[in-house]
Amino acid sequence: RLNDTMRIQKSVAYLSGTFIIDFLIVIISSAYLFSFHYSIALTALTAIPLMGFIAWKYNDRIINQNTAIMAAYSANESNYIDTIQGVAVIKSSNKENIFGSKIGTLFSQFQSSSINLGKTGNQFNLIVEVSATMIILTIMAETAYFTLEKVLKIGEMMAILSIGIGIIPSCTRLMLTNLQIQEAKVAYNRMYEFAAIEPEDNNVSLVGEKEWNQLFKKLEIKNLSFRFAGKRQLLKDINLTLKKGEIIALIGESGCGKSTILQVLQKFYTQESGYILINEKFDLTNLSTKNWRDIISIVPQDVKLFNCTILENICLSNLEKDLKLVIAHCEQLDLLSYFNQFRRVY
């Protein structure tokens, strides 16, 4: 979707450049044509309502097809990433053909959307060009008539033809400006859907934040219930007490909500009902998410190795003080001798 913002940039560049130039050309050229003969000027200016009507007739179709092609492109790219991430499972299961077929299907849908938009664009351009040609022929006929009737001189005729023919493309582009704006609007709306998501703790009153010294003693889960949007209730009336120094295991079937509880405790999700108390005093929802995550540590189910050094993967930072702290711990645990066997330790 961020790639779609290129359409917005192109539209801004068009409005700040080509649109202004075309607008000035139409104004000045129209005044020039009116100075010779009003009928020729009016004929040239018929391009504005005519092209505007054509653009209006194709407006919804072009917008819908632009939306479809953006969505198809996004789905195609997302599928590439998803498939690459799971390539080991695909190869070990000998399912390359199935996933290859899925990739081909999504790519074909993307190409079909592009072809449909291209066909509509060709049809639209054909009608615009035919209409523009008819107006130009009319201007030429009028100019020739007035010249034969001695209303215009040969030199004036040539000047009018040059200006009259030149004004048509500018009128056409002015009337097609709305299509540029609508295309940018589609891209903006798609980007806005995720860009407008509020950050965590945005405008939240953190009650008791100043009183909390970030020392953990006890965590209590009371009558906690949770469900994903539009799904059945996954957790219902969960009660649990965790004290500092204890080791507790959550046991249950796959999909019963063990990982979800940890997601809620990390404040990735908000419970449907119930509450979580820290040190018998502070509600978890009223504590700063950043400060809370600073005092907890998680070993994820799926370990992610980033494209950086081993030490940066351990501390997830490139700050010198953080790296020195990790090195000191590794030396204390005698891990550096093991890490030195690999490339890109530091």
3-state helix/strand/coil string of 64-120: HHHHHHHHHHHHHHHHHHHHHHCHHHHHHCCCHHHHHHHHHHHHHHHHHHHHHHHHH
CA dihedral 43, 45, 47, 49 (to 10 degrees): -120
* Greater pLDDT, 144 or 291: 144
pTM, entire model: 0.56
Give the up-direction half-sphere exposure of residue 92: CA atoms within 13 A in the CB hemisphere.
4
What pLDDT digit, counting tens, does each position of 56-95 carry?
888 888 888 888 888 888 888 888 888 888 888 888 888 8
**Residue 53 is encoded by which pair of tokens?**
């009507």
**What are the distances in angstroms from CA 9 to CA 2, 24, 187?**
11, 22, 10
Q: Which helix (H) or strand (E) holds 323?
A: helix 320-332
* CA–CA gap between residue 54 and residue 186 (Å, rounded): 20
Cβ atoms 276, 221 nearer than 8 A: yes
Q: Measured between alpha carbons, how far is 110 from 107 in angstroms, rounded to an integer?
A: 5
Return the percentage of the chain with pLDDT > 90, whole number: 3
CA angle at residue 192 from 189 to 195, to 5 degrees? 165
Six-digit token string for 168: 């048509």
* DSSP state for residue 200 in the 8-state scheme: T
Closest CA to 243 of 224, 268, 221, 269: 221
Of the candidates 50, 49, 51, 42, the one whose C-alpha atom is nearest the C-alpha of residue 138 is 42
Greatest alpha-carbon span in the chain: 106
Per-residue model confidence as pLDDT tens digits over 313-337: 888 877 888 888 888 888 888 888 8
Please spell the DSSP secondary structure of 295-306, one letter per residue: S-----SS----
Instruction: Find, among 281, 270, 260, the residue nearest to 216 by Cα.
Output: 281
Domain extents in the chain: 5-195, 218-294, 304-346
Give the pLDDT score at 201.
66
Task: List residues bridging with 222 in a β-sheet.
Answer: 275
Q: Give the ranges where 149-287 is alpha helix by DSSP (H).
A: 154-175, 177-195, 258-265
Residue range 247-299, pLDDT digits in tens: 888 888 888 888 888 888 888 888 888 889 888 888 888 887 877 888 888 88
* Among the listed residues 115, 139, 123, 6, the one whose alpha carbon sits nearest the alpha carbon of residue 55: 123
Superfamily of domain 218-294: P-loop containing nucleotide triphosphate hydrolases (3.40.50.300)
Q: Which of 8-17, 105-114, 175-184, 271-280 is the least confident region? A: 175-184
Under CATH, to which class is 5-195 assigned?
Answer: mainly alpha
Please check the confidence at residue 1 and state whether its pLDDT lies above 70.
Answer: no
Instruction: Count CB-CB contacts under 10 A for residue 190.
Output: 19
DSSP, collapsed to helix, strand or coil, labels residue 274 as strand
Query: Quick one: 174 exposed, middle or buried, by C-beta within 10 A (0-12, 13-18, 19+)?
Result: buried
Burial (CB count within 10 angstroms: exposed 0-12, middle 13-18, buried 19+), residue 168: buried
pLDDT per residue as tens digits for the range 185-209: 877 877 777 777 777 765 455 655 5
With a CB cutoff of 8 Å and minimum separation 6, the contacts of 275 are 222, 223, 224, 283, 284, 285
Residue 105's closest CA among 80, 88, 85, 87?
80
